[in-house]
Structure 1
């Protein structure tokens, strides 16, 4: 058994009797300074330990989200109607998707970008196979020509007013003209305006009545609109709530459609409203007409990770557009790439946001306005986006844990004059490289070692300084005593 005296012999910290020590003012001052230095250095070390250290490298893209890339967008077009607004996607591999509706929503807005109603359910515009009669014969005008002076009086006089807004230069308008006039004549014979007066077919030349066509937000020719008098004629800030006809344009189809509209008239007003709502959802030939000339387009599309374009334009296979009247000015609320972050990943992002780019949506909040004039017609707006993926990972418990992926991009925009119908193009080009940001957490043992080094180092240095100061003072006193003797 080891005796206590032998055990005491290995004591590293041998004690000096208190009677053999003395305190001094210089030692007390150095002790205070040493204590403050220890606290300061400990705080610096703790801050360094808690700080996030990262390394950045550029590597070949090793995306885990496959070959597709998600694009989220929210844009407002104050002068592009929801009736014809189309979202198209194309790429260098030959992919060409037109009028995407499954993941895209549209809302009618006014000039101040304020929504004027619920979601605009346009859906894909039905394909018109018969644009007129197979044998085009000349028929005397059967429809009534309307102008801004008499339009309101006619719309309030007849329970149903069906108007053909056309342009003489339009190919589709000219195809429709014979069958439209023939249909108007047949309907006039069946429902005499003076004796019956339930329905009237009319027409408006938009090249002569430009303001009237703008008032009813006509952007494609021909546009056939159905106006109803009474409970089905609603006023909303001066805008009529009515419908557009997208059915076949031959005489037989037009006459059958008009007969259907008249057939609903004997019903009560509230039943008319119910039938009208049901027809909006089940009748592909009749859709709600836009209440305003503006449209907010929002949603997302999935594209391949190759250079391509997202295009927003006025599109229809059975309408003509006047390029000088199409204005694609727009405000961008969102245009971003990649999947949305989960709440957990978002909290990690908030913790690490100072160490990543944070510029994933450079177009957000930007506006691109074209004021129509002699020198500003037929303007296409193009955006060129260079995309780089940033992947941030953290190392915990010797395992690589992915925190989040972010797609950043640079954006350059330009306005291009063209003879074609103006569009908005977002040209995107993903980079084959990616930026890898790795978080390197410090070990706790390293922190403890540094803290011990700080305490021991400061204590030792302070002891050396105290010894030097004490011996210097003693030497000075001896010299002074020697001079006195």
Structure 2
């Protein structure tokens, strides 16, 4: 057992008897200042310990969000009808997907980009197998076809629409291949229906045609952008207008004579007997007016396309165009002016999660969607717009999220846009390319041992420096006193 005297011999802090020490006013002032300085530095160190810092690095992209990347968009086209607007996706691996509809929605808009109606039918334009009567096309020259359909124009259109309960109009263009293939069967169907429902004595239905190259204003009024377009007008509600909007239907069914006659027969209203509609039996098969071949016609010449698509993480492009396998488009009259309401990459996170991250990292709360809010105007028709996007991923690992798998990711991109004119139908293309590197932002916090070490350094350092200052100040006062005593003697 060690005695108390031996234990005292290893004391690092040997005490000076209080009687041998002397307190001074200057020492008291320096001690107060040192104590206050210690408290201030302690508070700064504590705040630094409780706060978090970020460490940024650039690493190879080893994303945990899978093989596919989500692209969200909201695009408004004031001069592209929803009837034929198509969203297509392709990439360098050879993947091509046309007319996506499952995650894409289309709404009619006016020239001021305001929505004016319900969602347009989400399905694509039905595929047409029969574009006309092949035998008739071979046997009868185009110039010798009978004129079964009534040729109407801008001056006579409203007169016929008011006169006949059902008016079915073929809006066509002489240069269009599909219009020329439809003409023989359209004329024959018009003749057959005229024999069944005489326009003079019966007058319940009439088949007509409009040459859009000669009646451009009339075709624009009814938002005709693809040829041929078959529209169904019903007297009593088709002619109701609200700021130029028309409420009628489009036909997308087969174009041979038998199919046209069967469909048109299904449209014929029952005859009027003694001021009342008689009951007419039209049984004998499926309803030719079902929604697969008949849909509401576009209410405007503009369209808002919104939704999302998932693409592989390789260079590719998202394209908006007028697309149909059975219609022709006049490239010289197509205008692809568009407004980008939203175009972003990556999965969507909750507002709460993003608010917390943006609070911690305000530099990330910038405008990462470079195209959002931009308006791209075609100087004239037949202009294709190309947008080239370089995409970089930023991944944020926060201490508030326990698992690295819950790390938040955001995609930033640079955008360069260009316009070019070509002879083909104009489109809008978003070319995207992802960087193989990603920016990793990790939130870090100082360890408790580091905090204690710095705290001890603060206390010891301030105490030592204060002691040095006090000694220097005390010695200076003694020297001054000695000099004053020497002068007295």
In structure 2, the partner of 1:150 is 156
1:127 aligned counterpart, secondary structure: coil
In structure 2, the partner of 1:55 is 55
Match of 2:467 among 445, 463, 466: 463
Deviation of residue 147 (structure 1)?
2.2
In structure 2, the partner of 1:42 is 42
Match of 1:167 among 173, 185, 189: 173
Deviation of residue 446 (structure 1)?
1.3
In structure 1, the partner of 2:89 is 89
In structure 2, the partner of 1:291 is 299
Q: 1:15 to 1:344 in 2, by over 3 A?
A: farther
- Is the Cα–Cα contact under 8 Å of residues 280 and 287 in structure 1 kept in the other structure? no
In structure 1, the partner of 2:388 is 384
- Is the Cα–Cα contact under 8 Å of residues 128 and 254 in structure 2 kept in the other structure? yes
TM-score normalized with structure 2 length: 0.87
Q: Distance in 2 between matches of 1:265 and 1:352?
A: 74
- 1:303-331 Cα shifts (integer Å, max 9, x gaps): 11211111110000010000011111111
Q: Distance in 2 between matches of 1:400 and 1:95?
A: 32
In structure 2, the partner of 1:272 is none
In structure 1, the partner of 2:284 is none
Q: Distance in 2 between matches of 1:154 and 1:421?
A: 34
Q: 1:348 to 1:264 in 2, by over 3 A?
A: farther
Q: Distance in 1 between matches of 2:83 and 2:466?
A: 83
- 1:366-419 Cα shifts (integer Å, max 9, x gaps): 1111132xxxx3211011112222222357999856521222222111101111
Q: Distance in 1 between matches of 2:488 and 2:98?
A: 109
Q: 1:397 to 1:178 in 2, by over 3 A?
A: closer
Match of 1:338 among 325, 332, 346: 346
- Structure 1: tracts of 5 or more residues without a match: 270-278
2:57 aligned counterpart, secondary structure: strand
- Structure 2: tracts of 5 or more residues without a match: 278-286
- Is the Cα–Cα contact under 8 Å of residues 170 and 221 in structure 1 kept in the other structure? yes
Deviation of residue 30 (structure 1)?
3.0
Q: Distance in 1 between matches of 2:252 and 2:432?
A: 34
In structure 2, the partner of 1:441 is 445
- Is the Cα–Cα contact under 8 Å of residues 262 and 288 in structure 2 kept in the other structure? no
- Is the Cα–Cα contact under 8 Å of residues 106 and 295 in structure 1 kept in the other structure? yes
1:220 aligned counterpart, secondary structure: coil
Deviation of residue 450 (structure 1)?
1.4
- 1:253-272 Cα shifts (integer Å, max 9, x gaps): 11111111114787999xxx
CA RMSD, 1 decimal: 3.1
2:450 aligned counterpart, secondary structure: helix
Q: Distance in 2 between matches of 1:201 and 1:398?
A: 70
- Is the Cα–Cα contact under 8 Å of residues 393 and 401 in structure 1 kept in the other structure? no
Q: 1:51 to 1:234 in 2, by over 3 A?
A: farther
- Is the Cα–Cα contact under 8 Å of residues 83 and 122 in structure 1 kept in the other structure? no
Q: 1:44 to 1:157 in 2, by over 3 A?
A: farther
- Is the Cα–Cα contact under 8 Å of residues 161 and 228 in structure 1 kept in the other structure? yes
- Is the Cα–Cα contact under 8 Å of residues 330 and 369 in structure 1 kept in the other structure? yes
Deviation of residue 160 (structure 1)?
1.5
Q: Distance in 1 between matches of 2:69 and 2:259?
A: 44
Bigger shift: residues 446-455 or 245-254? 446-455
In structure 1, the partner of 2:265 is 259
- Is the Cα–Cα contact under 8 Å of residues 359 and 409 in structure 1 kept in the other structure? no
Question: 1:413 and 2:421 equivalent?
Answer: no
Q: Distance in 2 between matches of 1:419 and 1:285?
A: 31
Deviation of residue 233 (structure 1)?
4.9
Match of 1:316 among 316, 321, 324: 324
- Is the Cα–Cα contact under 8 Å of residues 358 and 364 in structure 2 kept in the other structure? no
- 1:421-464 Cα shifts (integer Å, max 9, x gaps): 00011111222222223333211231232123223322321222
1:388 aligned counterpart, secondary structure: strand
Bigger shift: residues 38-47 or 459-468? 38-47
Alignment of 1:208-357 (within 5 A): 208-231=214-237, 233-263=239-269, 282-342=290-350, 345-354=353-362, 356=364
TM-score normalized with structure 1 length: 0.88
In structure 2, the partner of 1:105 is 105
Bigger shift: residues 452-461 or 176-185? 452-461
Question: 1:22 and 2:23 equivalent?
Answer: yes
Q: 1:378 to 1:401 in 2, by over 3 A?
A: closer
In structure 1, the partner of 2:126 is 126
Q: Distance in 2 between matches of 1:20 and 1:455?
A: 23
In structure 2, the partner of 1:363 is 371
- Is the Cα–Cα contact under 8 Å of residues 106 and 304 in structure 2 kept in the other structure? yes
Bigger shift: residues 392-401 or 429-438? 392-401
Q: 1:8 to 1:176 in 2, by over 3 A?
A: same
